C-alpha cells in the first residue's frame, strides 16, 4: 500500500493527510482541480496533477499509468448551505465525478479506496453518541450525496471486490505546522472565531442559543486533522471493508469553543447571538469505538485547547491564508 493517489490533496484535510503519508515514506500523487483548494497547500514532495474528476478519460489514464495501491478520495464540494441552493452541483461532483474515479480505480486494479464521508449522512441523529449503524437520513443534498457514494462503494466492493473504508468525519479542525484551513468563503466556527479575535472580522455570529443543550448553543465533536490523517493511514490496512465514525466522543458547545479560544489567544471574541442557522442539528457527537477497535486508531489531540492552539499558530503564520 505504498503508492497512494490523493484526490483533493490541495484542500484543507487532503493536504494534511498527504503530508502525514509523505512523512511516513509513502509515494503520494495529488490529483486536484484547485476548485476550492490552493496550489500552495500541495506538499512539494508529492507529485501534482492538475485535473478535474469530471474528465473521465483523464482520471482513467492517471490511474492506469500510476498503478496505485490505494486511493484517498477527498475531492468534493462540502458547503451544506450551498447544497440547499444548488443540489445539482453537489450530486454531479460528489456522486457522478466520484463514479468516474471509482471506475478508474476498479479498471486499474486499485486495492483500497478510502473515502471522506461525513456526520452529515446521519441528519438529525436518533440518539447520542451516534453509532455506525444508526439510521442515516440526511437533511441536505450534501449529506445525501455522501451517503449515496458510501452505498456505491459498498456495491463496488460486492461486485468488483475493491476494498473500501468510508470515514465519517465529525467536525474537522486544527492545523499542522504547514497546512491549515483556508476555505473561501470560510463558514467553519474555529477559523471564524480566530479571524474575529485578529480583527479580520468585526464579530462572530453565534447561531442560536435556544437549543436543548446545557448552555443553549449547538454541541459538536471537533476532531484534529492530524487524527483524521492517522485514521486514513490505518484504514489502508483495514481488516474489512466498511464505514467508521471519526470523532473524539467529547461534545463541545459553541460557547465552550469561544471560551477555549479566548484562553488560547488571550483575546476576547466579539460575538452576537443570531437566529439558528437552518439545518443545524443541536448535537453531533461520535461513537468511534469501531475505528478504535478495528483500525487501532488513537486520537492524540483531543482537547479543544490543543486543536485551537494549532489553528491559531497557523493563522498567525498565514494572516491572509494561502497566497495561491
Ligand atoms: N471540513 C470538514 O469539517 C469535513 C467534515 C466531514 C467531511 N468532510 C469531507 O472531507 C473532504 C475534504 O474537505 P475539506 O474541508 O478539505 O474541503 P476543501 O474544499 O478544502 O478540499 C476539497 C479539495 O477537492 C478539490 N476538488 C473538488 N472537486 C474536485 C474535482 N471534481 N476534481 C478535482 N478536484 C476537486 C478542491 O479543489 C479542493 O482542493 C470533503 O470530501 C468533505 O466533504 C469535511
Ligand atoms: O459563524 C458561525 C459558524 C458556525 N457556528 C456554529 O458552530 C457550530 C459548528 O459549525 P461549522 O464549523 O460550520 O460546522 P458544521 O456545520 O457542524 O459542519 C461541519 O461538521 C460536519 C460534521 O459534524 C460536517 O458534515 C460538515 O461538512 C462540516 O462543515 C454549529 O453549531 C454552527 O451553528 C456559529 O455559531 N457561527
CA pair distance 50, 39, nearest whole angstrom: 9
d(CA 215, CA 304) in angstroms, rounded, equals: 17
* pLDDT beyond 70 at 225: yes
pLDDT at 312: 98
For ligand 1, mutation pick of 5, 7, 8, 235 (most atoms within 8 Å of CB)? 8
Ligand having the closest approach to the CA of 278: 2
Q: Give mean pLDDT, residues 32-57.
A: 98
Catalytic one of 142, 211, 244, 301: 142
- Three-state DSSP class for residue 284: coil
309 sits in which H/E element: helix 304-317
Share of the chain above pLDDT 70, in %: 100
Q: Of the residues 124, 145, 171, which should be mutated to test ligand 2's pocket, given the most ligand atoms within 8 Å of the CB?
A: 171
Q: What is the pLDDT of residues 269-307, one digit of tens each?
A: 999 999 999 888 999 999 999 999 999 999 999 899 999
Radius of gyration from C-alpha coordinates of the chain: 19
**Nearest ligand by distance to the CA of 75:** 1
State yes or no: is 142 an active-site residue. yes
Residue 1 pLDDT exceeds 80: no
Three-state DSSP state, 115: strand
Strand spans (E) along the chain: 3-7, 27-32, 47-50, 70-73, 112-118, 163-169, 171-173, 204-207, 219-220, 222-224, 242-246, 252-253, 271-274
Could you tell me which residues come within 8 angstroms of residue 88 by beta carbon, excluding any fewer than 6 positions away? none
Mean pLDDT of 206-220: 97
Closest Cα to atom 27 of ligand 2: 78
pLDDT at position 278 is 84
Judge contact between 129 and 182, C-beta under 8 A: no
Predicted confidence at residue 279, as pLDDT, reads 80
Give tens-digit pLDDT for 247-260.
999 999 999 999 99
Structural domains in the chain, CATH included, are 3-173+222-245 (3.40.50.720), 189-220+250-317 (3.90.25.10)
Q: What tens digit of pLDDT does each residue of 85-124 get? A: 999 999 999 999 999 999 999 999 999 999 999 999 999 9
ipTM of the complex: 0.98
DSSP reduced 3-state for 175: coil
Report d(CA 194, CA 311) in Å as an integer.
8
How far CA 310 is from CA of 173, 206, 233, 249, in Å, comes to: 9, 22, 21, 20
Using CA atoms, how far residue 258 sits from 26, 130, 167, 282, 285, in Å, is: 38, 24, 28, 17, 18
Taking the C-alpha atoms of residue 206 and residue 258, their distance in angstroms, rounded to an integer, is 10
Mean pLDDT of all residues belonging to the chain: 97
Amino acid at each position: 500500500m505504498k503508492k497512494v493517489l490523493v484526490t483533493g490533496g490541495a484542500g484543507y484535510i487532503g493536504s494534511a493527510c498527504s503530508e502525514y503519508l509523505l512523512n511516513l515514506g509513502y509515494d503520494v500523487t495529488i490529483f486536484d482541480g484547485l476548485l476550492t483548494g490552493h496550489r500552495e497547500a500541495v506538499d512539494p514532495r508529492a507529485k501534482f496533477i492538475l485535473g478535474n474528476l469530471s474528465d473521465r478519460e483523464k482520471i482513467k489514464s492517471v490511474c492506469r499509468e500510476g498503478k496505485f495501491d490505494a486511493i484517498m478520495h477527498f475531492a468534493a464540494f462540502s458547503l451544506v448551505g450551498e447544497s440547499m441552493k444548488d443540489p445539482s452541483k453537489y450530486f454531479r461532483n460528489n456522486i457522478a465525478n466520484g463514479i468516474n474515479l471509482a471506475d478508474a480505480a476498479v479498471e486499474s486494479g486499485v486495492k483500497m479506496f478510502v473515502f471522506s464521508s461525513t456526520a452529515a449522512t446521519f441528519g438529525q441523529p436518533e440518539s447520542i453518541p451516534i453509532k455506525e449503524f444508526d439510521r442515516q437520513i440526511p437533511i441536505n443534498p450534501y449529506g445525501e450525496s455522501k451517503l449515496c457514494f458510501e452505498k456505491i462503494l459498498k456495491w463496488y466492493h460486492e461486485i468488483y471486490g475493491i476494498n473500501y473504508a468510508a470515514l465519517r468525519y465529525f467536525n474537522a479542525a486544527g492545523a499542522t505546522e504547514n497546512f491549515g484551513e483556508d476555505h473561501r468563503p470560510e463558514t467553519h466556527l474555529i477559523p471564524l472565531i480566530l479571524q474575529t479575535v485578529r480583527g479580520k472580522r468585526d464579530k462572530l455570529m453565534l447561531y442560536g442559543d435556544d437549543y436543548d443543550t446545557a448552555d443553549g448553543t449547538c454541541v459538536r465533536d471537533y476532531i484534529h486533522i492530524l487524527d483524521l490523517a492517522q485514521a486514513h493511514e490505518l484504514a489502508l490496512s483495514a481488516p474489512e471493508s466498511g464505514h467508521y465514525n471519526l470523532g473524539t466522543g467529547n461534545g463541545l458547545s459553541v460557547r465552550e469553543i469561544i471560551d477555549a479560544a479566548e484562553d488560547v489567544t488571550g483575546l476576547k471574541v466579539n460575538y452576537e447571538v443570531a437566529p439558528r442557522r437552518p439545518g443545524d442539528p443541536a448535537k453531533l457527537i461520535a461513537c468511534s469505538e469501531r475505528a478504535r477497535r478495528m483500525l487501532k486508531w488513537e486520537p492524540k489531540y483531543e482537547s479543544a485547547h490543543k486543536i485551537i492552539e494549532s489553528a491559531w499558530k497557523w493563522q498567525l503564520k498565514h494572516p491572509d491564508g494561502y497566497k495561491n
